[in-house]
Amino acid sequence: MTAFWIICAGLVLLAIPFIAYPLWRGTVKSNSVARDAANLEILRDQINEMDADLKNGLLSAELHEQGKSELQSRVLEEVGATTEPEMVRSPYKKLAIVLSLLLPVLAVGLYVQVGNLNAFSDRAAHGGMSGMVGGTNSISALEEKVEANPADGESLVLLARAYMEAERFADSAKAYENLTQYITDEAWIWADYADALAMAQGQSLRGKPTDLINKALKIDPDSMKGLALAGSAAMERGDFAAAIKHWERLRSLLPADSEDAKMIEGGLAEARQMLSHIKGGKAPMALEQIAPPTQAASSGKERITGKVVLSDNLKGKYSLDDTVFVLARAAEGPKMPLAIVRKQVRDLPITFELDDSMAMQPQMKLSAFDKVVVVARISRSGTAMPEAGDAQGLSQPLRPGTKGVNLKIDQIVQ
């Protein structure tokens, strides 16, 4: 985004001289010479007429001499002594200054009105590609394009996103790895790579995914997906202080009343609560050194089952390749997903199961909460965080272990 504004500023500065210089340095010729030439021509014609009248006997010699003398006097009075054109400095200097100042303001104002300020954000880059996956850009077609031109960055991104939506996480991670050989300075690519690799290794951000997240944040410290993943990685390794740091920064970048901000606030509340229970609120930087977390294990008693359908009035309004998330979150407290299933619109209606084996973090499991809410959401961007234009349906608060939950996706996220 910074590079974009630098380029725009350079173009505006380049345009200013072309507008202001001609106005500042331009000169105009005085019209006095042209006026004198016209007067001389008129007087010459009048003398010729008097000569003709004298010749034809219409004018006496005395009157002819008298009139000629008067005309000569008028010539001396009306024709100035200056014969060279007088160059007058341009009167448009003030206009040149005003336009030089107004051009950048007007350019920025116009872009704010008709442009997209988030066009280069993580979400835009992530979401914009999602809408292009599918249809003619099937996985096989994209694989052929990448095979023909391995350096085709756009096709690599689309292929990585297609693999991700098809839950081929290892293939997605490999595609992102290839992409980073050609594009190294885009934070969202490294963050997406970390996400895919984490899914490929059992939804764990430990090890290389964390290194990739750090690269993303080194390129752009305000990368929203990078900050979100960094907080989750810190929670996973028990570094609650670091999780709070990353998520607080992320929250400051989000609109205060947005669903994203509320979700992050829930995660922050959980991190603070867990931090307060460690040595009177002073947790070591790596809690795993004291009590290494165990993998989430499912007993089956907490399993929630059900079915998701799409409302008739929303059918046809979303691409068959758009992502459908079915997730459970705590009815009260942190809004981070406790278990999540990823499908596509083409899979609707969906029969789902949610249990502890799907926990994103060992300490955040279905069985750890008395009541949860099940959410089914269509995401055009492919991210679990709700965005305007997504569609969703929610259950009433229910206890883990509830069977036969029926959800209808019938609400548009504002």
Closest CA relative to residue 374, chosen from 304, 297, 290, 320: 304
Residue 88 predicted with pLDDT over 60: no
Q: Could you give the 3-state DSSP secondary structure of residue 97?
A: helix
Phi first, then psi: give them for residue 244, nearest 5 degrees.
-60, -45
C-alpha dist (Å) from residue 253 to 6, 84, 179, 367: 21, 67, 27, 33
The pLDDT tens digits for 258-276 are 777 777 887 888 788 777 7
The two tokens of residue 78 are 């009306």
Distance CA 248, CA 38 (A): 81
Q: What is the DSSP letter of 357?
A: G
**Highest CATH level, class, for 122-289:** mainly alpha
Distance CA 233, CA 242 (A): 9
Q: What pLDDT does 334 receive? A: 61
Q: What is the CA radius of gyration of the chain?
A: 38
Q: How far is CA 309 from CA 26, 90, 318, 392, in A?
A: 71, 73, 14, 10
User: Hey, what are 59's tokens?
Assistant: 């004018």
Q: In the predicted model, is pLDDT for residue 244 greater than 70? A: yes
**Mean pLDDT value across residues 82-110:** 68
pLDDT at residue 75 in the model: 66
Secondary structure (DSSP) of 312-343: GGGTTSS-TTSEEEEEEEESSS--S-SEEEEE
Residue closest to 143 by CA, chosen among 186, 174, 184, 167: 174
C-alpha 133/C-alpha 139 separation (Å) is: 8
**Spatial CA neighbour of 354 closest among 292, 406, 402:** 402
53-76 tens-digit pLDDT: 777 777 677 777 777 777 777 766
User: Could you tell me if 356 and 299 are in contact, meaning their C-beta atoms sit under 8 angstroms apart?
Assistant: yes
Average pLDDT, the chain: 77
Burial class (CB in 10 A: 0-12, 13-18, 19+), 291: exposed
Among 44-53, 347-356, 384-393, name the one with the lowest average pLDDT: 44-53
Token pair for 242: 């670091």
pTM of the predicted model over 0.75: no
60 half-sphere exposure, CB direction, 13 A CA radius: 3
Structural element, H or E, at residue 32: helix 32-55
Domain boundaries along the sequence of the chain: 2-26+90-114, 29-89, 122-289, 304-412
**How many CA atoms, within 13 angstroms, populate the side-chain half-sphere of residue 199?**
20
> Poorest-confidence range of 58-67, 125-134, 319-328?
125-134
Pick the range with the lowest mean pLDDT from 1-5, 178-182, 234-238, 246-250.
1-5
Report, as an integer, the average pLDDT of 369-392. 84
Q: Residue 71: in which H helix or E strand, if any?
A: helix 61-78
